[in-house]
Structure 1
Amino acid sequence: MNFDDYCQQKAAPPGSSTYYALRQAPAARQPLLTALFALRREFEETVKETSDPTVGRTKLAWWQKETSALAAGEASHPVSKALMAHLPSTASEYASLEALLSGFEMDLDQARYLDYPNLRRYVERVGGAFAALVARATARDPSQASGWAVPLGNALMLAQFVEEIGDDARHGRIYIPIDEMQRFNVTAADLINRKYTDAFTELMRFQTGRARDSLHGALAAIPDAERATQRTLRAQAALALAVLDEIERDGYHVLHQRIALTPIRKLWIAWRAARG
């Protein structure tokens, strides 16, 4: 298996939302974008699929060294080799890769967030920094991409929190600020024990509304000159909005299941969004 095939399997297995979003990008840029999504998945698995924080830190330390090696043109991992082959300047993106890695490192130190400003630090590193990397890979003016890509990445993270709240809670992580849960009278035990109440419904209505508004606002902020270059991010946003709508229609029953779209619907939504 070559490194591009490895990245494809890691980042975007057939039928996944990422698969359909990546298919909207120009063919020449798909290998680079796929490698970026694969790297994010590697970081995520390192912290979220490791029960022992010590083991997680050891793995992250390895990725820290590998990221430095990537910037120096001496990568050894298949994903890093793919990035080295497809990224015009690995050294220029080192700071963004570091920010992404530091975001996932927060998962080893913190499972709850007091308020939204504290949560936003995590969101901007894991969501915003990554979206900026993706945007720069295809943007007409990469130097300006962060300004409009970071809010979109943040919004995508907020939508992901809604979609994955049940699974995250079962793994000991709750990405809803403590003060907001208190405001709606919902406890961590309610989430872990899959307790559906009117209070939980109101909490999720608030979270879904914020994610949806953030996505619409971020999409509107993409410059007209960049809309055609950002088909992957725009498709991701459209898919996230569709999932939020589906969650809302289902009555926010996200504690015991992950509500998803069918592959054919994903294909249609991604295709339509990329050409809108």
Structure 2
Amino acid sequence: MIAGILGALGIGAANTASVTTPTATATSTATPSSTPTPTATVPINIEGEELGGVAEGTLVEGIDGEAPRKAPDADVKSIDALEALEVKGRAPKTGYDREKFGAAWADVDGNGCDTRNDILYRDLTGSVTSDGCTVTSGTLDPDPYTDTVIDFVRGPATSADVQIDHVVALSDAWQKGAQQLDAETRALFANDPLNLLAVDGPTNQAKGDKDAASWLPPNKGFRCEYVSIQIAVKAKYELWITQPGCADVEGRRG
């Protein structure tokens, strides 16, 4: 399986030691084996559009942390993490709902800014904010999925040009172990900077909830990192991969 995945990504056996998996820098993000200590917080709202019926800036009570204003570091070997993943069948999608992962783009780190704006601020260059949180403009240079430059301008007709992608889609996670996590950990998963990227909107829509066996970014130069993120996220939250998924990835040749 390892050789097949490396071959699909164009990585020779001699280079396996250099393949790394990013890990989150936010020290307060909980893993499935530890539940964060609830803290008394007051829900706040920051000016912004409605997303999933929840205003940007909504603070989830009982979850705190640091601002994910820095891209994750790469310091865990993908091969080691991949070998640790359990291989099981895909669970039914029965019971899945976006609300099972908490309010959309909630301020889980308690920095006063919702997750969507945190990631826009992190991934865009020249980010401009209207209130210290709401990103009104910036440049995605380059978009990791298409290797193109996208100018972001907040507005009803333009905000969707740059979207925040869950690299491991929420419904995919639900079918591979997340339904066994408690609600608080699922909220952390949905807002974990490790699993989030600002990307080209139409490409994100085309991806949908597919896993790495079914979809890889059009930008071949980013595919290795993309799969590394998938592995890191599933290892962090003790999710599993499927045997058909392994076979599909093995069969890929870039």
After TM superposition, the score normalised by the length of structure 1 is: 0.26
Structure (1 or 2) with the greater helix fraction: 1
After TM superposition, the score normalised by the length of structure 2 is: 0.28
Structure (1 or 2) with the greater strand fraction: 2
